[in-house]
């Protein structure tokens, strides 16, 4: 609280002496006047009047209640200080002291932050006075800001309007410190994007079964347990040489592309222990590296034990909820692209983190990356 008041109210503090002095002067003057009127010597009359006042004794009728009006006035001024005179910082006068503020610890500080930036009692920083912000229509947007962008400071309805049709209200643009009249200057659309749980895993359409040497290269065999073969049975074989597209292997030799290319093959073995057996055995853990043609994603498949083996995960899929305008959900995987009000973003990564998940999104033009998180 800022106070501008005198160090002491002289009249409130000494009113009793002032009243007594005025009374004595009036009594002496009356005595002199009376003496002159009746012909008595003026000096003698004055002396007699003073002597009479000195002989006055307090009444013996009991204790007289004190007059608390002065104390009440002083208390009111402390609680609600007023400015009696405008003064320079650090200066004082009979009616107004230097400017003061009250610290949280209760100490009275010089009001000018430049003169005393910290409280000497507790070390706390002084609070800077905030300028008064006018908002005539109470819509949350200051009058000065509304006038700057040709809005009506007397119409609260323009807070929910969209002056530049970029999908954000004028109030949202004010809060984000963007230009409400420029459709290219607006808050980030990703602020309206939320990740919905749980994440979903997508799997490879086939498993890697074996590899056979062909000259100086390799031919790898794959198997799709969910696709029918030439005889209508579930389970379709696929094959490819290193560097070739993986295609469906049919009796008629008709090649049906799978959307993947065999990039490389590496023969590997590892030592494993099996239940009920002593010691370790050598297990074939050879790897076939494939490339998904749709987005260039590289995946490594370990040799499956048999045709009943489960396909390896290909992607972790996430569902994003976009709440700007008409709400809609968007299923995304790494490498996919989304369009939000004409602005394009690329999904860089989707991954599970503890009981939640994260989606990393990249702005297609600026390259800025944003991570959208969610917890169960």
Residue 211 sits in the same domain as residue 277: yes
Determine, yes or no, domain membership for 126.
Answer: no
Average pLDDT over residues 9-38: 68
pLDDT value, residue 13: 56
**Of 5-14, 54-63, 180-189, which range is least confident?**
5-14
Angstrom distance (rounded) from CA 45 to CA 360: 105
Query: Of 365, 362, 350, which is closest to residue 315 (Cα–Cα)?
Result: 350
Please classify residue 66 by burial: count the beta carbons closer than 10 Å to its beta carbon, then call 0-12 exposed, 13-18 middle and 19+ buried.
Answer: exposed
311, 327, 350 - which closes a domain: 311
Determine, yes or no, domain membership for 253.
Answer: yes
Average pLDDT, the chain: 80
Where residue 359 sits, what CATH number does that domain have? 2.30.30
Determine, yes or no, domain membership for 121.
Answer: no
Quickly state the pLDDT bin for 376 (edges 50, 70, 90). Answer: confident
pLDDT over 60 (residue 103): yes
Residue 325 sits in the same domain as residue 297: no
Angstrom distance (rounded) from CA 23 to CA 13: 18
Quickly state the pLDDT bin for 83 (edges 50, 70, 90). Answer: very low
Q: Name the residue with higher pLDDT: 288 or 121.
A: 288
Q: Name the residue with higher pLDDT: 306 or 110.
A: 306
Residue 219 sits in the same domain as residue 305: yes
Residue 79 sits in the same domain as residue 213: no
Average pLDDT over residues 246-253: 75
Quickly state the pLDDT bin for 116 (edges 50, 70, 90). Answer: low
- Give SS3 for 223: strand
Cβ partners under 8 Å of residue 2, min gap 6? 99, 100, 101, 111, 129
Paired residues of 322 in beta bridges: 193, 328
pLDDT over 50 (residue 140): yes
If you ran DSSP here, which 8-state letter would residue 342 be given? T
276, 311, 346 - which closes a domain: 311
Query: Of 169, 193, 196, 192, which is closest to residue 180 (Cα–Cα)?
Result: 169
pLDDT value, residue 2: 41
Quickly state the pLDDT bin for 289 (edges 50, 70, 90). Answer: very high
Residue 196 sits in the same domain as residue 327: yes
Determine, yes or no, domain membership for 83.
Answer: yes
**Tally of domains within the chain:** 4
Residue 266 sits in the same domain as residue 351: no
Residue 277 sits in the same domain as residue 347: no
Quickly state the pLDDT bin for 231 (edges 50, 70, 90). Answer: confident
Average pLDDT over residues 295-312: 91
Determine, yes or no, domain membership for 137.
Answer: no
Residue 219 sits in the same domain as residue 284: yes
- What is the share, in percent, of the chain residues with pLDDT greater than 70? 74
If you ran DSSP here, which 8-state letter would residue 16 be given? H
pLDDT value, residue 173: 92
Give φ, ψ of 343 to 5 degrees: -100, 130
Determine, yes or no, domain membership for 89.
Answer: yes
Residue 360 sits in the same domain as residue 292: no
Q: Cis (ω within 30 of 0) for the bond into 207?
A: no
108-110: strand order across its sheet: 2-3, 100-102, 108-110
Host domain of residue 52: 2-98
Residues 228-266: b if buried by 16+ CB within 10 A, e if exposed: eeeeeeeebbbbbebeebbbbbeeeeeeeebebbbeebe
Task: Give DSSP secondary structure letters for 22-72.
Answer: HHHHHHHHHHHHHHHHHT--HHHHHHHHHHHHHT----SS-PPPP--HHHH
Residue 307 sits in the same domain as residue 215: yes
Task: Give DSSP secondary structure letters for 302-317.
Answer: EPPSSTTSPPPEEEEE
pLDDT value, residue 92: 47
What the block records as the tokens of 173 is 């643009």
Determine, yes or no, domain membership for 90.
Answer: yes
**Of 57-71, 207-221, 331-345, which range is least confident?**
57-71
pLDDT tens digits for range 164-186: 988 889 999 999 999 999 988 88
Residue 92 sits in the same domain as residue 215: no
Determine, yes or no, domain membership for 247.
Answer: yes
pLDDT over 80 (residue 132): no
Residue 16 sits in the same domain as residue 88: yes
pLDDT over 70 (residue 152): yes
């Amino acid at each position: 609280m800022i106070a501008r008041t005198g160090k002491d109210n002289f009249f409130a503090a000494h009113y009793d002496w002032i009243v007594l002095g005025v009374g004595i002067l009036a009594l002496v003057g009356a005595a002199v006047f009376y003496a002159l009127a009746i012909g008595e010597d003026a000096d003698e009359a004055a002396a007699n009047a003073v002597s009479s006042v000195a002989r006055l004794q307090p009444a013996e009728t009991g204790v007289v209640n004190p007059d608390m009006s002065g104390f009440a006035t002083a208390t009111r001024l402390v609680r609600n200080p007023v400015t009696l005179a405008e003064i320079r910082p650090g200066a004082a006068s009979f009616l107004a002291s230097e400017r003061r503020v009250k610290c949280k610890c209760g100490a009275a500080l010089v009001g000018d932050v430049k003169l005393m930036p910290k409280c000497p009692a507790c070390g706390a920083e002084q609070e800077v006075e905030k300028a008064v912000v006018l908002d005539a229509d109470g819509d949350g947007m200051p009058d000065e800001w509304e006038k700057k962008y040709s809005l009506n400071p007397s119409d609260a309805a323009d807070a929910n309007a969209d002056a530049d049709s970029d999908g954000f209200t004028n109030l949202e643009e004010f809060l984000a410190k963007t230009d409400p009249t420029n459709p290219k200057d607006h808050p980030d659309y990703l602020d309206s994007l939320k990740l919905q749980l749980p994440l979903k895993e997508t799997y490879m359409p086939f498993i890697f079964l074996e590899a056979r040497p062909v000259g100086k290269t390799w031919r790898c065999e794959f198997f799709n347990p969910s696709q029918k073969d030439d005889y209508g049975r579930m389970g379709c074989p696929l094959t490819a040489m290193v560097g070739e597209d993986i295609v469906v292997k049919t009796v008629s030799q008709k090649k049906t592309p799978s959307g993947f290319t065999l990039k490389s093959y590496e023969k590997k073995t590892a030592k494993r222990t099996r239940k009920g057996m002593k010691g370790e055995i050598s297990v074939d853990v050879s790897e076939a590296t494939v490339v998904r043609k749709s987005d260039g994603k590289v995946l490594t498949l370990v040799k499956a034990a048999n045709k009943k083996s489960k396909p390896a995960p290909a992607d972790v899929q996430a569902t994003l909820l976009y709440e700007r305008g008409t709400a809609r959900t968007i299923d995304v995987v790494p490498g996919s692209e989304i369009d939000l009000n004409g602005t394009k973003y690329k999904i860089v990564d989707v991954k599970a983190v503890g009981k939640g998940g994260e989606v990393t999104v990249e702005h297609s033009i600026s390259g800025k990356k944003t991570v959208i998180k969610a917890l169960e």
